[in-house]
Amino acid sequence: MKRFLPKSTFSQTVVLIGLLLLANQMVSYLSITHYFISPSYNQINTLVSNQIATLFLSDLDTLSDEEKQKLQKQTGVTFHNATSAMHAGLSRATYYDFMAKSISQKLGKETEVRIKTGKRYIVWIKHASDDSLWISIPLVGIGEEELSPLTMYFIVIGGLSVLGGWLFVRRLNKPLQALQYAAKQVGLGKFPDPLPLEGSTEIIAVTKAFNRMSQNINQLESDRLLMTAGISHDLRTPLTRMRLASEMLPEDQDWIKQGIEHDIEDMNAIIDQFIDYARQDQQETLEIRNLNELIKELVHARRIEASHTITLKLSELPSLPLRVVGIKRVLENLIENAFRYGSERIEIVTHFNESDANINCEIRDFGEGIEESQIPMLFNPFAQGDKARGMQGSGLGLAISKRIIESHEGEMVFYNHRLGGLVAGFQLTLGRKPKKRQKNTA
């Protein structure tokens, strides 16, 4: 049976809409026929036929005006000539051929039948022997309450159509939502388990391609980590030999020895940054901490020059899950950049936006700032955002910081202050708990 079901989204949509419309038409037709047309048709034909047959059995011309008024009072039947009939509503009545044929057949005489609808249903009958005589017969008992079953069925059919469409869209969107969430996790450097193959053929094909892509990226990340660790290890060996060789230099060449050791320390620091960039703090656990406490600890423990000044403007913040070492690395990097490229006086500001539950941390220097066009390039690995402010380091500091903040599902915030200087910081959203990264396996 399953092989006869359509597989593509287009075919499923066409079949579903077709079935819903067919069911709607069938139930609507049966409902209208059963609850409206058939009862009304039979009631009107029977009532009109009986009353007209009764009237035609007697000679209408022999009835006096008093007798006609008495008949009208008792039965509601009214006699009109052509002019009074038009004024009484005959002009707004509609000719019904099928009723005229049915009543003519029952009466055995050719009869014209018209019906006026509205608050009151009135049947107009032309006298068979007198074209100027019209008889109006009110129909009592046909009201809006007769349409309630039909209205109920229309509501049911509309509800079923909406429900069917909702179930189909939900079935279609469920794998898409899972795919969207998994793609976001991969974008943050996390690699979820392969997604189940569900949905239409197109969705299954996209899911297969995504699972394959996720596995390939995971393998590339593992290979990169292994390669970086291997290169770092291989570089440290000759650096160690260089350090040992510098120790053997004569005392009169201490300046050469100091220069070599300084270069070796710089190279070791760059290698450490390579490892940090590749490792992405995958093994660090989450702790419920207050960001203000981390800032105070870092500022208190930081060894700054006498000319360096840090002003704290910390608002009250709620605690949230943080990777403490990673966040401290971000703060340290932003503070170091502010002193190195900005000014000897910096300002650290935190505030909490209750409307969108955002925690903001901004570090402002009072330097010359940076060109707006260069801000997006600050986060590129091995890139220097402002070459005029120096070429120190490997260019990985902000790239590492960006990864750490994104692992908390936050974002970096960089802009030039309106009063001068660069504002560098990040934004975290309260209530978003960063998930642990899945360990890469080589």
Do 266 and 312 belong to one domain? no
Do 95 and 77 belong to one domain? yes
% of the chain exceeding 70 in pLDDT: 70
Task: Kindly state whether residue 356 falls inside one of the protein's structural domains.
Answer: yes
Task: Kindly state whether residue 442 falls inside one of the protein's structural domains.
Answer: no
Do 218 and 98 belong to one domain? no
Do 222 and 298 belong to one domain? no
Give the count of domains, the chain: 3
Q: Summarize the confidence of residues 44-60 as an average pLDDT.
A: 62
Q: Where are the beta strands (DSSP E) in 354-433?
A: 358-365, 411-416, 422-429
Q: Which of 52-56, 57-61, 278-282, 289-293 has the highest mean pLDDT?
A: 289-293
Q: What is the pLDDT of residues 233-248, one digit of tens each?
A: 677 777 777 777 777 7
Do 379 and 249 belong to one domain? no
How remote is the C-alpha of 305 from its chain's centroid?
Answer: 51
Query: Among residues 142, 174, 202, which one ends one of the domains?
Result: 142
Do 302 and 410 belong to one domain? yes
109: domain range? 2-142
Q: How many CB atoms lie within 10 A of CB 251?
A: 6
Do 233 and 307 belong to one domain? no
Q: Summarize the confidence of residues 138-163 as an average pLDDT.
A: 63
pLDDT exceeds cutoff 60 at 100: yes
pTM: 0.48
Task: Kindly state whether residue 246 falls inside one of the protein's structural domains.
Answer: yes
Query: Among residues 250, 279, 308, which one ends one of the domains?
Result: 279
Tell me what pLDDT residue 439 has: 42
Closest CA to 366 of 390, 336, 346: 346
Q: Which of 166-175, 358-367, 425-434 has the highest mean pLDDT?
A: 358-367
Task: Kindly state whether residue 318 falls inside one of the protein's structural domains.
Answer: yes
Task: Kindly state whether residue 309 falls inside one of the protein's structural domains.
Answer: yes
Task: Kindly state whether residue 26 falls inside one of the protein's structural domains.
Answer: yes
Do 398 and 343 belong to one domain? yes
Tell me what pLDDT residue 441 has: 36
Confidence of residue 428 (pLDDT cuts 50, 70, 90): very high
Q: How many CB atoms lie within 10 A of CB 333?
A: 19
Tell me what pLDDT residue 427 has: 94
Tell me what pLDDT residue 141 has: 53
Do 249 and 313 belong to one domain? no
The owner of tokens 């039909």 is: 150
Do 225 and 126 belong to one domain? no
Query: Among residues 234, 257, 279, which one ends one of the domains?
Result: 279
Do 6 and 129 belong to one domain? yes
Q: Could you please report the per-residue DSSP string of 283-302?
A: TPPPEEE-HHHHHHHHHHH-
Do 129 and 201 belong to one domain? no
Distances in whole angstroms, Cα of residue 150 to Cα of each of 20, 33, 187, 332: 18, 10, 54, 73
Q: How many CB atoms lie within 10 A of CB 414?
A: 20
- Specify the CATH number for the domain of residue 131: 3.30.450
Task: Kindly state whether residue 185 falls inside one of the protein's structural domains.
Answer: no
- Specify the CATH number for the domain of residue 390: 3.30.565.10
Task: Kindly state whether residue 382 falls inside one of the protein's structural domains.
Answer: yes
Positive or negative torsion for Cα 11, 14, 17, 22: negative
- Specify the CATH number for the domain of residue 261: 1.10.287.130
